[in-house]
Structure 1
Amino acid sequence: MGKDGTSIPDEEWERFLRDAEARTPGAPEEPSARARMVASRLAEDPGPPEGWRTHRPPARSGGRARYFVAFFVLVALLVVAMDPGRVTGWFGGDGGSGDTAPLAAESERPTGPPATEAAAQRPTLDDPFRGSPAAKWGDGVAALPLPEARATGWMSKAQVAQALVRSRDFLFSSGLDAGVLRGERPAKAIALINPHQKDVQEYVSAAFRTPSAEHDPLKLFSRFAPSKVRIVGDVVKTRGLITYREGKRGAVEVAADVTYVYPVARAAEGSDEVTRTIVRREIVMGWDDPAKIITEPGTFSLVSYRSDTANGGCGNHTGYFLPEFAAERAVTGGSGEGDAADPYDRSTSMDALVPEGGGTGCGIATRL
């Protein structure tokens, strides 16, 4: 700026630069950095210079804040569009796999059914428990803790502890063993049943030789026809309660009330629709005093057993679960007999679901 406040002509400024670069005698020296800064500030604000110790509140960064808010809103919208179930989980809903923190082990019968807000979310091959309360259940036999052992009936504390472990072994071999789920004979589970219990041995033999309504292996064992369906993944979700008490003749009776959730897809290559078969079984295993009952070491007598099945094929006596998929359910409306029930509801006793020693345990499921 000139002394009179007017701009310096361009030609004079260019001459100044040429003379300064050539160091022409008498040429003006290049303004110092301080001088350039002051000149620039004066050009922008011709008012009096700001004092060195004068306080100026920091400028508001509203423009930058608005930019970041808009950016995060855009990201959130993209997440909602790509995976709405995950966002549901952020705000307290079940959200399928959005919130998979496992529930504490069951210590007593619950007072009501699990929440249903995520039931509309469909399972996938990568997330077969999506939309199911079982997403928060434990995996396999590890989700079935054993009660603390104490001397009971004819058994010492150590013997009770061993009986509890072997009872849980039966639950694994009958309802969780991968080979058995693929249709193999449950040899390890059968070997745990007292071979001198003739009626049970005859029942089991007939059930695998010629399955029928009277001799149905699915009341005790979980098997799927490998030509029709396959288990999705390597996890079966379980929830249940194992207890024990002194029974007849001093026997230790171990009762297991367990719900199994099996995710399955069609066996055909390329099939990606996933459904679930849900089985709840109550089995009472009697560990008899060998001084009073003819038995073999390491085996139990079957005191009672009953089951309730959802989407296993009602009226099916093939010896294998035959779950329905969307196409079949569209025709049948979801096969079943009796009243509608929630297969995840463990607050209902087995006495109410299945009469002692009777019933097929096949009802109409309100959800899978």
Structure 2
Amino acid sequence: MGKGGESIPDEEWERFLREAEAGTKGAPEEPSARARMVARRLQEETGPPEPWRSHQPARRQRGKGWYAVGLLVAVALLVVAVDPERVAGWFGGGDGGGESAPLAAESTHPDQPPPTELAARQPTMKQPFRGSPAQQWGDGTAGIGLPEARATGWMSKEQVAQELEKTRDFLAASSLNPGVLRGERPEKAIALINPHQQDVQDYLSTAFRAPSRENDPLLLFSRFDKTKVRLVGDVVKTRGRITYREGKRGAVEVTTDITYVYPVVRAAEGSDDVARTIVRREVVMSWDDPAKIVIEPGTFSLVSYKVDTTNGGCDTFTGYLTPRFNAERAASDPGDGPEVDPYDRSTSMETRMREAGDAGCGTATRS
């Protein structure tokens, strides 16, 4: 109805529908992760933009202590040899000692890596995080810091708080869920991704059926082949935080930067050679205004990802993390890429990827 209760003429209504279908300003848009990634990089970088699923080209696997940037994945070995007794107090005493108090949740970007003194202390079945900074990290979602909610973009304070919780739910469903870690399809996580984001849906439909360099489920999800590997215990250590800002068209754009530490052994009964796979992911998602973006309630549009994996395989695209154990690591050669500390969160993912470039499989300084 127009002003004074007058009806809109049929020809005006038909023109409006034609313009809306053609993409007139103000009409809801189909979300595109590719477009979002390009727009973000044009603002932040001087180099050429990359599509949402772009990655640094992988190189052949060549040995001991790999790490990965983007789609590249890695195997860690090199440790720092020190006198364990001299530094035993860092994590609660001698070989059978208890743990120190857990670290507070990460609320700001750290300015230095965690201490390396205990890297020579090897993990055991009873203490799978022994010898690593992860021993003081949080268990599961307890290690993922949530910011205080405030009204942002099209959302009220209460709505932002709800979406932050859903963001953490996605992280749990994609990287902590026991079934997913055993290789199951991450249905709960996928259900939180906007089904109208066609490029992402194409990736998801291919990644679990025919994983490849371009369509690897490990870009967003953590999975092990249960016939080859099993987790030690039921705890995954995490450290990281969630931040947010107003994004395009009033959306609430959320950035998650989390490091996950998975202790594993071979699947065979009686195996006790404990290794750790370390995955750091930065996932950026957009909680869009449905008045401006075509989206289902309770879902987000994927903006971008970055992933860096230690001891998860290098140049392997099976759809599963493929850790190596002591004997395999001892028989391999040093990597040809730069050295990286997988526990160092003082370096941003953007910087880590830029410094590594296309160096391929590098050397992790500890596992």
Interval of TM-score (by shorter of Structure 1 and Structure 2) = 0.7 to 0.9
Cα offset, 1:90, TM superposition: 4.1
Q: Which amino acid aligns with 1:354?
A: M
- Larger mean Cα displacement after TM superposition, 87-96 or 285-294: 87-96
Structure 1 counterpart of 2:174: 174
Moved over 3 A (4+): 84-99, 358-363
Task: Judging by fraction of residues, say which structure has more helix.
Answer: 1
Deviations 1:38-82 (A, max 9, x none): xxxxxxxxxxxxxxxxxxxxxxxxxxxxxxxxxxxxxxxxxxxxx
Cα offset, 1:104, TM superposition: 1.2
The SS at the match of 2:145 is coil
Separation (CA, whole Å) in 2 of partners of 1:190 and 1:236: 21
Aligned residues of 2:286 and 2:301 also touching (Cα < 8 A) = yes
Gap change, CA 1:141 and 1:363, over 3 Å in 2 = farther
Cα offset, 1:135, TM superposition: 0.2
Deviations 1:89-132 (A, max 9, x none): 34888868644311111111111111111111110001000001
Q: How does 1:203-222 map to 2 (within 5 A)?
A: 203-222=203-222
> Which has more radius of gyration?
1
Structure 2 counterpart of 1:328: 328
Q: How does 1:80-159 map to 2 (within 5 A)?
A: 88-90=87-89, 98-159=98-159
Q: Which amino acid aligns with 1:330?
A: A
Corresponding position: 1:350 with 2:353: no
Cα offset, 1:332, TM superposition: 1.4
Aligned residues of 1:129 and 1:263 also touching (Cα < 8 A) = yes
The SS at the match of 1:204 is helix
Separation (CA, whole Å) in 2 of partners of 1:359 and 1:150: 40
Gap change, CA 1:119 and 1:264, over 3 Å in 2 = same
Structure 2 counterpart of 1:366: 365
Number of positions where the alignment pairs a residue of Structure 1 with one of Structure 2: 283
**So what's the TM-score if we normalise by structure 2?**
0.73
Separation (CA, whole Å) in 2 of partners of 1:91 and 1:248: 45
Aligned residues of 1:115 and 1:133 also touching (Cα < 8 A) = yes
Cα offset, 1:352, TM superposition: 1.6
Gap change, CA 1:337 and 1:295, over 3 Å in 2 = farther
Relative contact order, CA 8 A, sep 6+: which one is greater? 2
Gaps of 5+ in 1: 1-83
Cα offset, 1:360, TM superposition: 10
Q: Which amino acid aligns with 1:160?
A: V
Q: How does 1:172-251 map to 2 (within 5 A)?
A: 172-251=172-251
Corresponding position: 1:304 with 2:300: no
Deviations 1:314-355 (A, max 9, x none): 111000000011111112136x55211000000011012225
Q: CA RMSD in A?
A: 2.2
Q: Which amino acid aligns with 1:193?
A: I
Separation (CA, whole Å) in 2 of partners of 1:170 and 1:180: 12
The SS at the match of 1:354 is helix
The SS at the match of 1:302 is strand
Gap change, CA 1:215 and 1:332, over 3 Å in 2 = same
Cα offset, 1:211, TM superposition: 0.3
Gap change, CA 1:293 and 1:197, over 3 Å in 2 = same
Gaps of 5+ in 2: 1-82
Separation (CA, whole Å) in 1 of partners of 2:365 and 2:93: 17
Cα offset, 1:85, TM superposition: 5.9
Structure 2 counterpart of 1:316: 316
The SS at the match of 2:164 is helix
Separation (CA, whole Å) in 1 of partners of 2:187 and 2:333: 36
Aligned residues of 1:95 and 1:118 also touching (Cα < 8 A) = no
Separation (CA, whole Å) in 1 of partners of 2:266 and 2:217: 22
- Larger mean Cα displacement after TM superposition, 141-150 or 176-185: 141-150
Q: How does 1:60-99 map to 2 (within 5 A)?
A: 88-90=87-89, 98-99=98-99
Aligned residues of 1:314 and 1:337 also touching (Cα < 8 A) = no
Separation (CA, whole Å) in 2 of partners of 1:218 and 1:359: 19
Q: Which amino acid aligns with 1:191?
A: A
Aligned residues of 2:91 and 2:135 also touching (Cα < 8 A) = no
Gap change, CA 1:248 and 1:91, over 3 Å in 2 = closer
Cα offset, 1:253, TM superposition: 0.6
Gap change, CA 1:351 and 1:186, over 3 Å in 2 = same
Gap change, CA 1:297 and 1:266, over 3 Å in 2 = same
Aligned residues of 2:87 and 2:117 also touching (Cα < 8 A) = no
Separation (CA, whole Å) in 1 of partners of 2:260 and 2:91: 25
Cα offset, 1:145, TM superposition: 2.6
Aligned residues of 1:254 and 1:286 also touching (Cα < 8 A) = yes
Structure 2 counterpart of 1:295: 295
Structure 2 counterpart of 1:340: 339
